[in-house]
Chains A and B, each alone.
Chain A
Amino acid sequence: MKTFSNVNARDAKQAVALSQQARKDGKTPAFTGGGSDLLGMVKERIITPDVLVHLRGMKGFDQIEQRGGGLEIGGQVTLDTISHHPLIRSRYAVLAEAAETVATPQIRNVGTLAGNVSQRPWCWYYRNGFPCFKAGGNTCFSIAGENQFHAIFGGGPSFIVHPSDTAPALVALNATFKIAGPGGDRTVAASDFFVLPKQNAAHENILKDDEFLASVHLPAPRPGTRSTYHKIMDREAWTHAVVSAAIVLEMDHDICRSARIVLGGVAPVPWHVPGAEKLLVGQKITPELIAKVAEVSIAGANPLAKNAYKVPLTRNTVKRTLTELTGLTG
């Protein structure tokens, strides 16, 4: 582990200023919340920051508040809190369930929502120190290498999959993100936060230097909304999604008014499948319709040499998740 210093920020403004100052001093800053992943990366020298700007002490950023019929979740709220929060469990189940599947209880106790959404990829090339796109290089080693867990959608030039469980849930919930930075706060739709490698191969999101994800706003759920998160894991704890599905349905009795289907583990960003959603709108949901939706959700899949299994797995996951959410049997 490279030696670094730690500074605790009082508030967002100071956090940004500390980061800017470090840069001015020729140092590399990094924001940290729970630090559960970041410190591991520092130990492995995947990243080598000089200054950690610690966000956990900032006032008000670990709160969950009802606002405008919706919910405002501070970026420093822990995943454990989110997974147990009664209002999130009842109104935004997909988010609580997603948070609950992250890593291990120890990590969820310290890991934050902002950290989970902003975490770096878990591609084994990146995490083993290969000089790939994500490490500032110009190669994706997975293409001609071991790509069992890599992207089947939206890949190129990098084929990482986005590692976050909460991100697909937030995109499915039409959340908006508040970003703190040198110019003050800015707000973006969750779906606009994440960027494909063809737009930016080195970073997974729009955060610029000295910016961090400050908070997340969830709009009020429409009546009849139900949601769930289904994660395919290679063991029962402490793995990232091989494939996951975050689905939010607005139901009027047995008719679907609107649908959001966002996939995790399959693309460099949370993978939204509007084509599949459209099939559901205004329809009575039947096993036959679910099968069609599942089929359309894999349209355009472009697997690499060793991850073709993810295509039927994605289809079957969507099918299974929709079936469970609508209480139908397959």
Chain B
Amino acid sequence: MNTLKTVGISTTRIDTLQRVTGKAQYTNDVKLPGMLYAKILRSPHPHARIRSIDTSKALAMPGVKAVLTNENCKVIWGAGSIAGGVQYSDEIKKITKQHRYAFNNPVRFAGEPVAAVAAVNRHIAEEALLKIHVEYEPLPFVLDQEDAMKPDAPQIWPEGNLALSNRNEAVPMGQKRGNVQDAFAKSDQVFEDRFSTAFVHNAQMEPRSAVAHWEGDHLTLYTPTGGIANCRTDMARDLGIGQDKVRVISQYMGGNFGNKNQNQDADLIAAMLAKQTGAPVKLELSRKEDYIGMHGRWPTTQYYKVGVSKDGAIQGIQLRGYSGMGPYRKNSGAMAGVELYEVANVETSIHPVYTNKTVSGNFRGPEFPQGYFGMQSMTDEVCANLKMDPVDFVLKNMTRKPGGGAKYTDYSLEECVKRGASEFEWAKRWKKVPGSDPGAIKRGAGMSFMAFRSGLGRSDAVITVNAQGKYTVHVGVTDVGAGAKSTMWMIAAEELGVPLSQVDVMWGDTDHCPYSVGESGSRTTIMTGGAVVEAARDLKKQIAAKGMPAGTAMLTATVSANPRLPEGLVRSAFAAHYVEVEVDAELGRIKVLKYLAVHDCGRIINPLTAHGQIHGGVLMGIGMALHEDLIYDKRSGTALTAGYYGARVLTHRDAPKIDVIFIENDDGYGPYGAKSIGEAGKVPAVAAVGNAVANAIGHRMKDLPITRDKVIAVMA
């Protein structure tokens, strides 16, 4: 790989100073003249028909300016439901049967908005909520995704509990290749098992908030979103106005991890209250509201059947899975993992299921960490039964071609696996006999691997240069935590061949920034970064042709890039994770001693941020494996552990040292060969931790999170 001047050098983020000195303006910092404050009344019932709502006493309170309920606000929140994992669109809006409104009747989960108040201050708004009288008719409810598929389960929608696709079809997702029954018959051994994963919240630092302000028929929305363009499109569609009538501003935001793309109901509720009152309205969710009112990772139940030959070659994989979507299908409910193996015979059937729990949606590798946990726990257990080293098993069975005759643009998975095994000293740390450490303190090691989408796609960029030689990059990014502003800054400086000090970046405002794909799916560096490269090249050509601008003149390069991979090529990021844990069998404590993540994310644009992304992803993976859960009271159907305290999100003191190795390649696609990275750190981590625990204690923990009570139940 050729060396570059700016790209590849650890660079402090472009907005670090603003963030650490408190100058950065987050949505909650926005204060407009005459601004009102909103609060939401939420359903205490997991499933209930609203017989009546009396808002008269609330409206009569001095300082209360408006109350919205499903009776006077019929706005449909498109992105809140039947997207089916596909971006909501005008076409889908037309045909969708199952509408999610900003306020729904019946309510379908405890915490669903029932009414919203706008008042002159927060206290009055909150007091007004207490004055709203709602008569509920509680309906039977179901919390577990498997229970919801039983014939006698309460029906959450008239069409049943199997979630509809965006074509209104109630069919499980799945694939069929070869013949698994024949494969099992021919296998030397066939294994079956069940795994489950819990609901885990995105737990981003900044809870949801929104400030909406109408000037005539023009809406300005301040909101923490990773996709200002998507949010604008969604708001315009939901409100039935032109996109040119909506401006979305997100200058700074405090984390995303997948639950701040598109628009959210908080945006719509703030906008409708602002419309109703004729004043700007600010809506801020508490941490608890954010936990139950937004979305998290879908809980799953996974049944595997795997057939292997004596030498450990997988002959067939069958998966029947159930994903708990809550009562609205905000994402697909898919499960990744089976595609990791080169197997001729595959049959999967995955059921996205409606439940009366809080809603599931995008979260850092939406279908990956939970699917990988199930699949790679299953194969690790197969290894243990075959008395085979998991590294050998992986090298024998892992994907080497993406299937269908296609090829990877470049392939480094084998290098990730082998390099990791060597650097980690796998042979020394992995227990040939699981659980064989004598005494209460037991160590063991586990590994997992990843092949993760890293495709190309559409994004726009504009770069200008003035007579002083100052370049300004206009990009529709906001930095959800992965450093997109700085990435674009570095890419522009590199391609323009100028120092960073000569480059400014304009971000986070739909009135001043062109379309960007939205910071989800680990694709902004590739797609928007690719557009920045194109724009810089265009600008350089203009300068070469016309010379630098003089006086007040400027040169502008506007690019709408939409590169495609050649037919038959698949682009993928690869990784292998190795982890050593120590389990105190008497006290049920699991401690991560050593963690190594080997990643091919193509060329690393900013090593500082890239390491941080892997660290953060691994920590989230450890949290999902060992800690986090949204525990429900089964009788009331309400969540008991919403928030950082209850869900036991990891703290700094829980963070082990995490070693990261990047295997850098330039496959010729994406800016300088950059691939996906944001989700990659988390995707394999959960499975690796689970496998390490099994190796340490000699007992497979099949249900996440692997908490103390479960460890003690099998060990003490």
Contact = CB atoms under 8 A, between A and B. Distances in A.
B631 A309 contact: no
A272 B246 CA distance: 65
Given A2-B127, A3-B123, A320-B586, 5 more contacts: A124-B641, A141-B635, A309-B708, A309-B713, A316-B587
B708 A242 contact: yes
A232 interface: yes
The CB with the most chain B CB atoms within 10 A, among A128, A306, A308, is that of A128
Given A124-B646, A235-B627, A236-B653, A309 B587 contact: no
Nearest to B627: A235
A238 B716 contact: no
Contacts of A2: 127
Interface string A230-274: 001011111100100000000000000000000000000000000
Contact of A146 (B631, B645, B707): B631
Interface in A124-176: 124-125, 128, 130, 141, 144-146, 148
Contacts of A141: 633, 635
A119 to B, nearest CB: 14
Nearest to B122: A1
Interface string B385-400: 0000000000000000
A296 interface: no
Interface size class of B (residues with CB under 8 A): 35 or more
A1 B126 CA distance: 7
Contact of A236 (B636, B651, B708): B651
Contacts of B653: 235-237
A149 B631 CA distance: 12
Interface string B638-672: 11110011101011111000000000000000000
Contacts of B650: 235
B654 A235 contact: yes
Given A234-B648, A235-B648, A316 B633 contact: no
B41 to A, nearest CB: 13
A1 B641 CA distance: 20
Contact of B651 (A3, A148, A232, A238): A238
A232 B644 CA distance: 19
Contacts of B127: 2-3
B708 A320 contact: no
5 closest Cβ pairs, A-B complex: A236-B653, A316-B586, A312-B716, A124-B640, A309-B712
Contacts of A237: 651-654
A317 interface: yes
Interface in B105-133: 123, 126-127
A207 interface: no
Contacts of A234: 627, 648, 707-708
Nearest to B650: A235
A279 interface: no
Interface string B604-640: 0000000000000000000000010001111110111
B144 to A, nearest CB: 14
Given A1-B126, A235-B648, A145 B716 contact: no
Nearest to B651: A237
12 contacts: A148-B709, A234-B648, A234-B707, A235-B650, A235-B653, A237-B651, A238-B651, A309-B712, A309-B716, A312-B712, A313-B708, A316-B716
B588 interface: yes
A3 B709 CA distance: 41
Nearest to B631: A146
Interface in B672-716: 707-709, 712-713, 716
A53 to B, nearest CB: 21
Interface of A: 1-3, 43-44, 104, 124-125, 128, 130, 141, 144-146, 148, 232, 234-239, 242, 306-309, 312-313, 316-317, 319-320, 330
A320 B587 contact: yes
Contact of A128 (B586, B587, B627, B638): B638
A231 to B, nearest CB: 11
A121 B634 CA distance: 21
Interface in B165-211: none
A320 B587 CA distance: 9
Interface in B269-304: 286, 288
A317 B709 contact: no
A239 B708 CA distance: 14
Nearest to A232: B587
Given A128-B638, A242-B708, A320-B587, A313 B633 contact: no
Contacts of B652: 237
B61 to A, nearest CB: 13
Given A125-B640, A238-B651, A145 B586 contact: no
A239 B648 contact: yes
Contacts of B636: 130
Nearest to B644: A238
Given A234-B648, A316-B587, A125 B123 contact: no
B654 A146 contact: no
A1 B130 CA distance: 11
Nearest to A234: B648
A330 B439 CA distance: 10
A248 B634 CA distance: 41
Interface in B299-317: none
A1 B627 CA distance: 30
A192 to B, nearest CB: 31
B716 A313 contact: yes
A141 B587 CA distance: 27
B633 A309 contact: no
Most buried by A among B288, B636, B645: B645
A319 B586 CA distance: 10
B581 to A, nearest CB: 15
A108 to B, nearest CB: 14
B587 A313 contact: yes
Nearest to A233: B589
Contacts of B640: 124-125, 128, 146
A146 B641 CA distance: 11
A319 B127 CA distance: 52
A125 B633 contact: yes
Contacts of A238: 644-645, 651
A159 B440 CA distance: 30
A128 B289 CA distance: 12
Which of A3, A239, A309, A330 has the most B CB atoms < 10 Å from its CB? A309
Contact of B123 (A1, A104, A128, A130): A1
Contacts of A312: 586, 712, 716
A128 B654 CA distance: 26
A100 to B, nearest CB: 12
Interface string B229-247: 0000000000000000000
Contacts of B286: 43
Contacts of B646: 124
A145 B634 contact: yes
A294 to B, nearest CB: 10
A190 to B, nearest CB: 27
Given A1-B126, A235-B651, A239-B648, A317 B587 contact: yes
Nearest to B586: A316
Contacts of B589: 232
Nearest to A230: B587
Nearest to A104: B651
Contacts of A330: 440
Select the residue from B127, B632, B654, B708 with max chain A CB neighbours within 10 A: B708
Chain B CB within 10 A, most for which of A124, A237, A308: A124
Contacts of A320: 586-587
Contacts of B716: 309, 312-313, 316
Contact of A145 (B588, B635, B709): B635
A104 B653 CA distance: 11
A242 B588 CA distance: 11
A125 B586 CA distance: 29
A15 B716 CA distance: 50
Contacts of A146: 631-634, 640
Given A313-B587, A313-B716, A306 B651 contact: no
